[in-house]
């Protein structure tokens, strides 16, 4: 489609209305309209999924769904697509409800040609900024030193960040939950930077990257001679964080034996190094993060109940990127600027088709995956604008488990088989490069290596 054209999908089971709209759009001089129609919501939504669409017109009452249902489906797929609901009733309350549900506008049937033309032109002009590689201007929260680089526009993230900002004013323990790649450590940095501990250290420890034999020493330190190889006294992460904040990543992976010591530290504010009996009083705030459901782990006996309630004073649940797609355009803008500067490139933006593809992607690796896509595109794109072909998205790849269809395997064994298959496919795609494979699936390289040690304990079965 050209700069002065747009694609419109109309969903209506009334043939006369479909034809009326076709004639109106056919006679428009500007913009040029590619008009597509469907008689029910499944057909219409299939068009929206497969095509780059600039406007959806839907009847409020459809054979298999309502216009509100279509509205929700389209906005979930790509919230940047404007949706206008057509209704045969000029009821003010119904119109208000349509707009409250997220519609960009509504029309009363029978539709007036002039109203259709004005609406189309207004929506087209509003979308000009993102047509042919121009992103919309950022609104809402932007990157700043106080924001710890967090970029968002969605209401859901705004509410979560408001809670994070309020929690920063206290020393309460915070648990940040969410899928890998959602930005849990960035939020922890944000809380630290806004707290009265901002001038103190911010120390990070990733439990999943540590063998169980070293986790206790890493957290609490050890005394010289505590075990073979302990040639000198060593400060643990708690002591290094004294006066500041300790961020414990993947707290759900803490071994049961260490959970007891962590609970005592939270209760009394003291630690003991491995190999000594001298309590050391510290002033440390704990922020923990996990991509696991700690409450389920408590219910199954894998995580201590008392430790859970000590940690879970304030819970921040970061939504996955697929549930806050409004944040994709400003994130893309931010990453393009970031990697333009790093690599001395001059990428100006994305094509209309590329942005539509990004908006419709599911992002199993969340923000980290989006950053990886944009970084790769900025590095490899030979033009000023990134096109759909430059994105190298992995949609359609089969990461399914090789497990049989039945339930003849124990849950733990089925999950091990799935994870092995998933990681092996990622490594194969990355040519065996662990760093590239980790970034592609949205985890750190240390986390990947830790998982490989657990999945292939003897190393002999590991194909790379």
Question: Binning pLDDT at 50, 70 and 90, where does residue 185 land?
Answer: very high
Domain boundary among 68, 98, 133: 133
- Per residue in 299-320, pLDDT (tens digit) is 999 999 999 999 999 999 999 9
pLDDT at 137: 39
- 294 and 372, same domain (yes or no): no
The lowest-confidence range among 318-322, 384-388, 428-432 is 428-432
- 172 and 309, same domain (yes or no): yes
243 located within any domain: yes
* Residue 146, burial from CB neighbour count under 10 angstroms (0-12, 13-18, 19+): exposed
Closest CA to 271 of 196, 218, 345: 218
Residue 297, CA atoms < 13 Å, CB-side half-sphere: 20
- 125 and 251, same domain (yes or no): no
Q: What is the largest CA-CA distance in the chain?
A: 88
- 291 and 162, same domain (yes or no): yes
Q: How many CB atoms lie within 10 A of CB 163?
A: 14
- 362 and 220, same domain (yes or no): no
- 230 and 334, same domain (yes or no): no
398 located within any domain: no
Give yes or no for a contact between 287 and 134, defined as CB atoms under 8 angstroms apart: no
pLDDT at 444: 75
The lowest-confidence range among 83-87, 284-288, 364-368, 412-416 is 412-416
- 109 and 27, same domain (yes or no): yes
pLDDT (mean) for 150-174: 92
- 257 and 207, same domain (yes or no): yes
Q: How many structural domains are present in the chain? A: 3
Report the CATH number that the domain containing residue 234 is assigned in CATH: 3.40.50.300
pLDDT of 82 > 90? The answer is yes
The structure tokens 């549900």 sit at 101
pLDDT at 414: 66
pLDDT of 401 > 50? The answer is no
C-alpha 345/C-alpha 370 separation (Å) is: 18
- 185 and 313, same domain (yes or no): yes
Report the CATH number that the domain containing residue 353 is assigned in CATH: 1.10.8.60
Question: Binning pLDDT at 50, 70 and 90, where does residue 138 land?
Answer: very low
The structure tokens 């993102």 sit at 130
Task: Kindly list the distances between the CA atom of residue 348 and the CA atoms of 143, 284, 393, 438, in Å, as whole numbers in the listed order.
Answer: 19, 45, 20, 28
Domain range for residue 312? 155-317
Helix, strand, or coil here: 405? Answer: coil
């Amino acid at each position: 489609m050209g700069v002065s054209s747009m694609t419109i999908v109309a969903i209506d089971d009334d043939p006369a209305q479909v034809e009326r709209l076709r004639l109106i759009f056919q006679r428009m001089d500007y913009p040029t309209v590619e008009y597509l129609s469907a008689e029910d919501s499944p057909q219409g939504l299939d068009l929206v999924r497969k095509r780059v669409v600039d406007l959806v017109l839907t009847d409020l009452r459809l054979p298999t769904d309502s216009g509100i249902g279509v509205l929700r489906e389209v906005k979930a797929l790509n919230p940047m697509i404007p949706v206008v609901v057509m209704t045969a009733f000029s009821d003010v309350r119904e119109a208000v409800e349509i707009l409250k549900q997220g519609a960009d506008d509504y029309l009363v049937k029978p539709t007036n040609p002039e109203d259709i033309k004005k609406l189309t032109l207004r929506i087209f002009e509003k979308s000009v900024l993102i047509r042919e590689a121009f992103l919309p201007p950022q609104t809402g929260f932007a990157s700043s030193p106080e924001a710890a680089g967090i970029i968002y526009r969605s209401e859901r993230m705004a509410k979560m960040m408001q809670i994070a900002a309020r929690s920063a004013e206290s020393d309460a323990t915070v648990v940040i939950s969410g899928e890998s790649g959602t930005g849990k450590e960035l939020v922890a940095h944000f809380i630290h930077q806004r707290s009265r501990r901002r001038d103190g250290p911010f120390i990070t420890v990733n439990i999943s990257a540590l063998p169980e034999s070293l986790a206790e020493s890493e957290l609490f330190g050890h005394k010289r001679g505590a075990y073979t190889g302990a040639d000198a006294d060593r400060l643990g992460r708690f002591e290094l964080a004294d006066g500041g904040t300790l961020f414990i990543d993947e707290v759900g992976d803490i071994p049961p034996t260490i959970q007891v010591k962590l609970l005592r530290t939270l209760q009394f504010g003291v630690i003991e190094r491995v190999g000594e009996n001298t309590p050391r009083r510290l002033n440390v705030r704990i922020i923990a993060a996990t991509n696991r459901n700690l409450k389920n782990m408590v219910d199954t006996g894998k995580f201590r109940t008392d430790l859970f309630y000590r940690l879970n004073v304030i819970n921040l649940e970061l939504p996955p990127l697929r549930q806050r797609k409004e944040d994709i355009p400003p994130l893309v803008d931010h990453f393009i600027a970031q990697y333009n500067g790093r690599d001395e490139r001059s990428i100006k933006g994305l094509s209309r088709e590329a942005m539509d593809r990004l908006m419709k992607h599911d992002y199993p690796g969340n923000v980290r995956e989006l950053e990886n896509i944009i970084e790769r595109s900025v590095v490899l794109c030979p033009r000023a604008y990134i096109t759909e072909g430059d994105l190298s998205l992995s949609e359609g790849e089969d990461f399914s488990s090789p497990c049989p269809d039945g339930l003849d395997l124990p849950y733990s064994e089925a999950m091990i088989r799935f994870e092995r298959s998933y990681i092996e496919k990622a490594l194969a795609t990355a040519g065996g490069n662990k760093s590239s494979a980790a970034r592609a699936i949205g985890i750190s390289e240390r986390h990947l290596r830790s998982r490989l040690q657990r999945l292939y304990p003897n190393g002999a079965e590991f194909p790379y």
